[in-house]
Structures are given as structure tokens and as C-alpha cells.
Structure 1
Amino acid sequence: MFSPEGPTLRELAVQALSSVERGYDLLAPKFDHTPFRTPDAVLDAVGSALRRMGPFGAGLDLCCGTGAGVGVLAGVCRERVMGVDFSAGMLDIAREQVRSAGPPVSWVRADARALPFAPAFDLVVSFGAFGHFLPRELPALFAQVRSVLRPGGCFAFPLVAPPRPGSLGYWMLLGFDTVMRVRNALWRPPFVMYYRAFRFGDVRRELARAGFRVDLHALPEFGPRRDGSPRVRLAVARLPVRPVRPGRVNS
């Protein structure tokens, strides 16, 4: 929920009628007081899971926002940690408030679809950013992630189970996406943020095509759903230790 320190309705309207980059520049000072920030419970659970898999060398938080995920990386990486985002406003807040007693932390402004790095990272994470990418952009996005990982490197991100059809959560997400599609049909520049467009079946296929092997790890902190399946999983896409050329996979 929004806290009293969060943005006003007018501020949210101005953000929603801006581009994605400008909108986040405007929202940055109050972003951590909105429900858009990844909850600490998710960050802590992901950190615990990654500690069981690590330690890692260098880590990159993709679309880092105000830097919440960088704290996760600082707890599992020994070499260095970097946050990358295309919003200068979000990076300014991250620089002010993120402190690490572990590896050195740096910040880079860049588009996730055109990362300016060599294969220098062992772990890439991302929290809550995939709604900003249309499904047709996923192959290029995952190719960029692959390009910055060393052989054997991992790309990890949490997956919350979708709400059941007909539930309140289902109708809320459907309503949000519908409003955004109408907004983008009538207003320019577009603001791309669709909660229901990130379908894991498609994501898994595109990750495999990019050369990753994908595993899912239940995050037990969130318990099971009624059908026994996990409420939240950690997707871990790993590159082979020996580089291979990405290829097609069967659908």
C-alpha cells in the first residue's frame, strides 16, 4: 500500500502520462513508499536462496531502481556489485541510501536492452522490472543478460504465482493492464508496464534459446498455494561453464 510519505494522486497521474524514464525520474524520491518497491520479505528470501548457491564473484542488479536488490547482491558476492538503471532519478536515490560493508558498489545509467559491459559478472538479478518489456523484447533482453555473464554465470529473479482466474487479484491485474493499454492507445509517449504480459512458459523458452538452463526453486518462506504449488519461486537461469552458441529449442 501507499504510505503517507508516498506520491499524491496528482503526482501518480503526472508520472503515468510521462514516458517510462521520465515517470520514474519523477517518482524516484517517493518510490520506496509505494507498493511498486519489491517487499523486504521477497528480497530476504531471494538472498537466503542465493547464499545457499553461492558465493559469487561479481553481481549486477538489472533495472535496479533505488537499489533494493543491490543489498541482496552485497550479501552473496565477494568481488564487486553494480546497479544499472535507465532512470537518473532512481540512481540518484540509490547512491544516497545504499551502503555496503561488503564488496564495492557502483552505479551505471544504461538501458537493459543495450548493456555497455563485457562478460564480467557471475550473477545477474532483477526484481519487478519485467513488466516494462513487451514479450517481443525478451529475446534481445536475455541476449543482453547472457552477454554480460561469465561462463557458468546465473540470472536469477523471483516469480510470484499468478492469481487464480476470478480472484480479486486476477481482476485487479487485468484491470490495471487494460487501463495501461487504453492509455497507450490514446497518449504518447507510451508507458510500458503490463503485469500479465510476463508469461513464464514464454520466458523459459526464450531463456533456453539464449543458451540458459532454467531451474525453479521454491521459496519456502511464502508457503504453498491451495493446490500445493509454491506461492513464490526463484528462477535461476544458468549458463554452461563451457560457452556454447545459443540455438533454437523445441516449443
Structure 2
Amino acid sequence: MFSPHGPSLHELCVQALSSVERGYDLLAPKFDHTPFRTPEGVLDAAVEVLADLGPFDRGLDVCCGTGAGVLVLDALCRGRITGVDFSAGMLDQARSDHPDTTWVRADARALPFAEAFDLAVTFGALGHFLPAERPAIFEGVYRALRPGGLFAFPVDAVPPVTSRWYWATLGFDLTMRVRNAVWRPPFVMYYRTNRLPAVHADLTAAGFTATAVALTAPGRYGDGSPRWQLVLARKQADAR
């Protein structure tokens, strides 16, 4: 599906009936040929915004997958870049594509870092966590950043009710909830659980000062509103 190099319908069905970790282990070799990978336009727009907020030394890609976020960090960071993910398959693919990056297998809800990075990013990963799990992720990123460090990630702007994307994401999330109610292990992937007000509240509770800027270049909805916003969460410069 998606392209001659992408996964087949059968492969996607096997993934969808697996756990998140096992599903991404299976999908890893073909993941970059699916629409699930963060679009290049979003990555480029993030670089454009973040370039004015540096300089940055060491960078961290949280839930790195095959390494799309590393492309952003490569463009912005002068020091060592680290990617962390819990899927061994995704890390194997990332290691093959980006051999100069440090790759760490770990759970994003228990990051094993302390004041080691100046910039942390994550792309397309928050939908794989339930809202109750976000605080642990944000607290771990906060610990991983040096004082004054920045955590950045895109979120979907709320689509207008007249948009096809509004109804597509609603239908997808409802389907996933039914799937997880009747099938084990669960496969957590939701589009509508990371709205900006809730994300902002969790970031504030973790200690960040958070804002968001619209990313207009990657596209707009039919009513002219941007499809993406980039969250910018800053750790206090004097945080100890």
C-alpha cells in the first residue's frame, strides 16, 4: 500500500493486531514509505522556527522511530545527537540510516537522562500514549534537558467540523477504541487525545513554560486555518 516500497494491506493488518512495540518492529523496514512518517514539510517548518531560538549543542529525539527528528536536530545542533525509542526494529532501521547518531532503547515514560541536552524534539509519537501517560513523558524530558533547554514538537490543530480530516480522525479513533476493547494486546494510536490546552497544562505541571506557534507552510484546512502548530516548551534557565 501507499507506494511500491510500502507495506502491504496484510502487513498493516498484522501490525494493527499487535502491540505498539511489536507492530513497529514489524513496520520498521517500510515505515518511511508510509504516510505515518512525519511529512518533510513539517520537519522543514520546525527547523525554520527553531533556528531562531538557538544555538543548541546536544539534541535528543524522543520516540525517534526511524530518525525523522534527527534530520531536524542535525540542522540545528552543534554537538552529539541521541535518539531514543522502545522498538528495537525502528532503532535498527534508524541506526542503518544515521550511523553517526547515538541510539538508545528505552521507554519514553522513563527516560534515562539527566540534564544532558539543550534541545529535545518528538514527532508523531504522542498519539501512542494515553493522556494519563503524558505527565511521565514530559517530566522525563524536563529532567533530560539542561537548564534553559527547549522541548519542541508539532501537534495537529483542531480541524473545522466541515473538514474531511475532522471526520476521518473521529472515525479512526472510534475504531481504535473498539479494537482495544475487544482485542489484546492493545495498539494505542489516537489522533484526538493531544489537543493543545491539555498538552499545555501537562507541560506547565512538569515545570515548562510553554507556547505554540502556527506552522503555515505545511498546509491549511479549507477555512484557511493552519493544520499544524509547533509547541515550544522551555525549561527554566535557573532550574535545579
Given the two structures, how large is their TM-score scaled by the length of structure 2?
Answer: 0.95
Residues 196 and 220 (structure 1 numbering): CA distance in 2 closer, same or farther, change over 3 Å?
Answer: closer
Q: Match of 1:114? A: 110
- In structure 2, C-alpha distance between the alignment counterparts of 1:223 and 1:5, rounded to whole Å: 25
Aligned pair 1:154/2:143, yes or no? no
- Residue pair 1:20, 1:191 contacting (<8 A) in 2 also: yes
Q: Match of 1:30? A: 30
Quick one: percent identity of the two aligned structures?
Answer: 63
- Residue pair 2:159, 2:227 contacting (<8 A) in 1 also: no
Which residue identity does 1:236 align to in structure 2? L
- Residue pair 1:71, 1:98 contacting (<8 A) in 2 also: no
> How many aligned residue pairs are there?
240
Is there any run of 5+ residues in structure 2 with no aligned partner, and where? none
Q: Match for 1:233 among 214, 229, 233? A: 229
- In structure 2, C-alpha distance between the alignment counterparts of 1:227 and 1:88, rounded to whole Å: 41
Q: Match of 1:215? A: 211
Q: Match of 2:63? A: 63
Aligned pair 1:47/2:43, yes or no? no
Residues 32 and 59 (structure 1 numbering): CA distance in 2 closer, same or farther, change over 3 Å?
Answer: same
169-178 or 223-232, larger mean C-alpha shift: 223-232
Residues 223 and 166 (structure 1 numbering): CA distance in 2 closer, same or farther, change over 3 Å?
Answer: closer
Is there any run of 5+ residues in structure 1 with no aligned partner, and where? 245-251
Q: Match of 2:3? A: 3
- In structure 1, C-alpha distance between the alignment counterparts of 2:112 and 2:233, rounded to whole Å: 21
- Residue pair 2:158, 2:195 contacting (<8 A) in 1 also: no
User: Alignment RMSD, CA only?
Assistant: 1.6
Give structure 1 regions of 4+ aligned residues with deviation exceeding 6 angstroms: none
- Residue pair 1:218, 1:234 contacting (<8 A) in 2 also: yes
Which secondary structure state, in structure 2, belongs to the residue aligned with residue 5 of structure 1? coil
- In structure 2, C-alpha distance between the alignment counterparts of 1:164 and 1:219, rounded to whole Å: 17
- Cα deviations across residues 1-51 of structure 1 (Å, max 9, x unaligned)? 811211111111100110000000000011011100001111111111111
Which runs of structure 2 are paired with 1:66-85 in the superposition (5 Å)? 66-85=66-85
Q: Match for 2:200 among 197, 204, 220? A: 204
Which secondary structure state, in structure 2, belongs to the residue aligned with residue 140 of structure 1? helix
The alpha-carbon deviation at position 141 of structure 1 amounts to: 1.3
